[in-house]
Structure formats: structure tokens, C-alpha cells
Amino acid sequence: TGALRRRPALRWLLEEHHTVRGRGIWVLQKSLVAKASTALAAGGRLVYATCSVDRRENEGVAEAFEESAGVDFEMWTFPEGTPGAREAPRWRHCRQMLPHVHSTDGFFMARWRRE
């Protein structure tokens, strides 16, 4: 969904784009983040990024990871003033770039550090 600004015709393909073997692509993304997190040593950093503005692919995947990761991971926040950085304490480790705000495609990023 992040590239709709440049390719508006993609909106008609979203249903196909958002499925992998009949499941929402965010199901696969949740699995990938969980598997990637197991490869990190203490102090390792995990970045989850999409070129999407879809909440299910972005905040939904980040929330699912945080629920399953427990205390092993902490939020790796962005410095204050970072373009697209969230101000709410719950989302300070996330960044959302929006076409109508940042004159770019839509992007999302969430970051964590393994303790």
C-alpha cells in the first residue's frame, strides 16, 4: 500500500497482494519477525520495516511481536524530532512515513534491542 501514491492502479490488486496462500500477508510477516528475533544475541538489534501504510502489516505485526517476545526485547526509540517518529510513548520505537505528510511513499519501521 505504500506505493499507491506513484501507482494508484495498484489499489485494485490489493486483495491479491495482501494474501499468501489465502492468508493475510501479515501472518507471514509475524512469523518472519519472530524467527529473525531468535537469531539475535544479547545487545542485538531488530528492525521490522514495510513499504506499507496498512495497520495490520505495521502496528499489528509490531504488537504481536511484543506480546510474544516478553521481556527479552526493549523498544529502541528514535531520537526526538526524527521525521515520521511517533510521539506517543507506546510507539516511540516506530516511524511512519506518509505520502501526504513526507512527500514519499508510505513506509513503517519498528525497532527493538535484545537485552
Cite the active site residues.
51
CB 106 within 8 A of CB 51: yes
CB 77 within 8 A of CB 92: yes
Q: How far is CA 57 from the centre of its chain?
A: 6
Helix 59-69 / helix 25-37 crossing angle, nearest 10 deg: 40
Instruction: Tell me the torsion sign for CA atoms 77, 103, 50, 91.
Output: positive
Dist. CA 73–CA 69, nearest whole Å: 6
